[in-house]
Amino acid sequence: MVYLTRKAEFSASHYYHNPEFTPEENRRIFGKCNNPHGHGHNYTLEVTVKGNVDQKSGFVVDLKDLKETMNREVLDAVDHRFLNKEVKEFRDRIPTTENLAIAIWNWLQPKLNAARLHRIRLYETPDLFVDYYGEA
Amino acid sequence: MKAYLTRRYWFSASHRLHNNAMSAEQNLAVYGKCNNPHGHGHNYALEVTVAGRVEAATGMICNLADLDAFVDEKILQRFSHENLNTLEEFRSVIPTTENLCIEIYGILERGFHHAAVEKIRMEETMLNSFEYAGGREAKH
């Protein structure tokens, strides 16, 4: 079993707000992230897949296919978007980095053929990242 | 849905690696430049990883403000800009980064209750790093 990781970067904006909370609760819990006009990040995404090395190609997965899948399933959906308003997963779910990592897993997992998805690591800033390994 | 959240912090501190039970020559042989009696400093990077279910109401494993406040008060204010050898924790424990990891993990495990502490990782320099998960195998 070999693990392979591919990185990608995207920029998006979001804000944190739960309509079931009062404005005061929203401000207390989410702080500056509650600003309704949103704020942006440069996200770094690391997608790790695992599999056996194919004898003929020497690959775990064709990197070009993985890149195209990441571009199509993830970057086209989120790059330069306002996550709360433009991504359907976040119509009724708060676009925290935790939930974004889970959404990315759910987009990619059914689209990968040769290799199995192992981990989504999503950096919101260089000092903050989330790991998701699928349903525990 | 279980996820892992890692936050990175920075602090600067100095230390000297020296074991009183060993001779001066042995200390020099074991610790090399780190045995310099005046100590030396590092910019330590501390990564704290917490684990838990993502709460439906908040979309969070735990509130980062709670983690930041705890780490700032209990860890950064304790160790930043200190000579580690002068602290109570290291009176009889050599302040290697291994031991600093174990100490910091203990502070988090005892005092931080908003999420489970999965592991900590510390970089002493760009060339070396240490991980401690309370003696458990760390999820990589």
Query: Which CATH number covers residue B44?
Result: 3.30.479.10
Active site residue B34: yes
Structure tokens at B93: 């424990």
* Contacts with A21 from chain B: Cβ below 8 Å: 57
Distance from the B122 Cα atom to the nearest Cα atom in chain A, whole angstroms: 13
Reported as a single tens digit per residue, the pLDDT across A24-39 is 999 999 998 999 888 9
Q: Say if strands B2-15 and A128-132 run parallel, antiparallel, or are unpaired.
A: antiparallel
Length of chain B: 140
Provide the residue range defining the domain that includes B126: 2-132
DSSP string, B18-65: --TTS-HHHHHHHHGGGG-TT-EEEEEEEEEEEEEE--TTTS-SS-HH
Residues of A with catalytic annotation? Answer: 33, 80, 124
B58 touches chain A (CB under 8 A): yes
The number of distinct structural domains making up chain B is 1
Q: Enter the pTM of the model.
A: 0.83
Decide if A112 contacts A93 (C-beta within 8 A).
no
The answer as to CATH 3.30.1330.100 being correct for domain A2-132 is no
Going residue by residue through chain A, which has 136 residues, state the pLDDT in tens, using 9 for 90 and above: 899 999 999 999 999 999 999 999 999 999 989 998 889 899 999 999 999 888 888 888 888 999 999 999 999 999 999 999 999 999 999 999 999 999 999 999 999 987 899 999 999 999 999 999 998 6
